[in-house]
Structure 1
Amino acid sequence: MDRSSRSRSRRPAPWVAAAAAAALTLTGCASSHGGKKAEEAAANAAAGKADTPRMTVALITHQAPGDTFWDTVRKGAEAAAAKDNVKLVYSADPNAGNQANLVQNAIDQKVDGIAVTLAKPDAMKNVLTKAEGADIPVVGLNSGLSDWKNLGLLEFFGQDENVAGEALGKKLNTTGAKRIACVIQEQGNVGLTQRCDGVRKTFKGDTQTLYVNGTDMPSVRSTITAKLKQDSSIDTVVTLGAPFALTAVQSVADAGSKAKVATFDLNKELVKGVQNGGIEFAVDQQPYLQGYLAVDSLWLYKNNGNYSGGGEQPVLTGPAFVDKSNVDKVAEYAAKGTR
């Protein structure tokens, strides 16, 4: 996809936002034909479902086995697919080469659109060029905010990880933290590195980076425990995903440490952790919204020629803090799997 030629040919207003895009789809698209088809179209429109030709969208992420964060992304994508008469094909692999192969599989299957994460963007460059050659629109979500335009993607939905990290670092300054360990569960993941770099930029205390094997939770627990025993001056553990935060709470207990735990990202169990005081706070990037908007945007592009952000600006879904002040309200939505 040639971004420059796309901009010249379509020139949408740059203030187009995801909320407006979502609102456009709620009315569906009623058929003008008579008889039974018209009745079905009217019923679909009343139910908020699109009456447009069936299309296939591939959602391809770098999800690691057991990482429940992606369940929320997928739930949002499935909700948009159900509304838009889209067949959603989901696949994932944390290995960048394997993820690129999954994108190639989608191209070979001649899908109508691809939504992809760019945790390791360099590994995706060649295959995304092939998608462009096959005239398949591609949008990005979650990871890759710094690279989506260079790789020719149509749109991007997620949070600026540097901004999110900086926001967390500033919040730590208000908690009295002096020495933190920022736990990265996947080496080479640019988004995770940006989070810790952002924290380091604004946090006034000392920041150490601790690498763990995110695919082996017992190993995560033992590695964090060992670090806390080795350095008792660490007063806060910052994790980059909800499951790792909950494991870090166990590590704190195992080490006999008084360290607090803060994290990026949410799930239902993490929300309970904030409620009971085991977790200080979390940064929410709204993964449900990322999945929903990614699929919905491809429907809008195929049927209406719409795209958000004018093709130049990302649609940001975070960061937003969840702490004692608002966790009970967030819990209502977390129970439904939408936060």
Structure 2
Amino acid sequence: MASRRRLLFSLIAAPLVLIAAACTTSTPASGTNNAVGAGGSCPYTFAVITHGDNGNFWSVVYKGAKNAAADYGCKLSEVYGSQQQGQAQPDDNAENAQIQNAVNAKVNGIVVSDHDPSIMNSTLASARAAGIPVVLMNAGCDDADIAASQALTCVGQPETLAGQKAGERFHSQGATNVLCVVHQSGQNLLDRCNGIAQGLGVGTTCSTGTAPANGPACTELILSTPNAASNPQQAIGQVTAYLQSHPGIDAVMTLNTAIGQALVSAKPANVKIATFDLDSDIQNDLQASPPTLDFAVDQQQYLQGYLPITFLYLYDKHEGNAVGGGTTVASGPLLVDSTNVKNVAAAIAAGDD
């Protein structure tokens, strides 16, 4: 992981002199407006605005952005996640307001997760009209949304592609009746499930109906427990009850590490379990003997924080040089299982995955 990141950085910014700078390690929170990075010779201030919380996944994204700002000596005007701990869902209106605040502040660039394009794209387009370059990350990695928001590019995992790769892996292992567990709202999660259906070869969408007795099939289970990702033990009963009443299911794909780990702990019989994203618990599941988790889909979220700062720096510093060509710079998917988990273990230990 570390070697891949160094190689990618060298390809993008080898000619640049990295400037040593102090970088705050404070936890990002709603309303934060403290500058991050020492400034150095970089005159630019960038805003990082997301729909995320401060949990295991998003803290790595924020770390990537902070590290990039420190490396270039630039500043982050704010690191803001609209979904705070204890909230059931991201607050898209709050995120959109933060985008407008950044435009009003005349920052030199905006990094943003375009979680609700119907709300945010027009605001992002107004940023571009004001001369502020925008790079999407994590959410909004769709060519149509990139164009509508007038962003330079999006750094993230093409979600349908990630689902396809997961579905193909299940299919290759003989597991074809897959339950896709959706822990919160968001088109990106539905795209993952639809990709699984495509990888299994059962059509373009994952069914919202009842799981059949036999596959090939993909069925969505949308959790009804509020704040399922933050309180997975309250939600996992719904998953296990569904499996008990639908014994033909032979694989479960969770879209969040907390739900995935909780399901592993529940130990459903004769069902392959896989999840999106990585953390130390998921690493332990993959390294167990025998493994208690089949595989995980790594979207390398550190890059989703780091690379947008790099791209904005290049754009502002070097006469509008732009990366991505109006499409997505993919940070994933990387399928991690017991055979290659050691390759990413160092990045997980360093908080870079």
- TM-score tier by shorter-chain length is 0.7 to 0.9
1:139: Cα distance to partner? Answer: 0.4
Q: Secondary structure at the match of 1:283?
A: strand
For 2:246 and 2:271, locate their aligned partners in 1 and report how far apart those are by CA, in whole Å.
Answer: 11
Look at both structures and tell me which one has the larger radius of gyration over its CA atoms.
1
For 2:312 and 2:199, locate their aligned partners in 1 and report how far apart those are by CA, in whole Å.
Answer: 37
**Equivalent residue number for residue 295 of structure 2:** 281
Equivalent residues in 2 for 1:179-218 (5 A)? 179-187=177-185, 189-204=186-201, 205-212=216-223, 213-218=228-233
For 2:103 and 2:39, locate their aligned partners in 1 and report how far apart those are by CA, in whole Å.
Answer: 25
**Equivalent residue number for residue 91 of structure 2:** 95
1:110: Cα distance to partner? Answer: 2.3
Residues 183 and 210 in structure 1, CA contact (< 8 A), matched pair in contact too: yes
Distance 1:82 1:154, change over 3 A: same
Which of residues 67, 76, 83 is equivalent to 2:71?
Answer: 83
Q: Does 1:21 align with 2:19?
A: no
For 1:23 and 1:220, locate their aligned partners in 2 and report how far apart those are by CA, in whole Å.
Answer: 47
* Paired residues, number: 298
Unmatched 5+ stretches in structure 1: 1-16, 30-48
1:129: Cα distance to partner? Answer: 2.7
Q: Which has the higher contact order (CA 8 A, sep 6+)?
A: 1
More helix by share: 1
**Equivalent residue number for residue 229 of structure 1:** 244
Q: Does 1:240 align with 2:240?
A: no
Write the letter of the residue equivalent to 1:128.
L
Residues 93 and 119 in structure 2, CA contact (< 8 A), matched pair in contact too: yes
Q: Secondary structure at the match of 2:351?
A: coil
Write the letter of the residue equivalent to 1:162.
T
Q: Give the TM-score taking structure 1 as reference length.
A: 0.82
For 2:236 and 2:299, locate their aligned partners in 1 and report how far apart those are by CA, in whole Å.
Answer: 24
**Equivalent residue number for residue 32 of structure 1:** none
Equivalent residues in 2 for 1:111-190 (5 A)? 111-146=107-142, 147-187=145-185, 189-190=186-187
Write the letter of the residue equivalent to 2:12.
A
For 1:50 and 1:268, locate their aligned partners in 2 and report how far apart those are by CA, in whole Å.
Answer: 33
For 1:19 and 1:171, locate their aligned partners in 2 and report how far apart those are by CA, in whole Å.
Answer: 32
Residues 228 and 234 in structure 1, CA contact (< 8 A), matched pair in contact too: yes
Unmatched 5+ stretches in structure 2: 1-7, 20-37, 83-89, 202-215
Q: Does 1:219 align with 2:234?
A: yes
1:67: Cα distance to partner? Answer: 3.5
**Equivalent residue number for residue 272 of structure 1:** 284
1:178: Cα distance to partner? Answer: 2.9
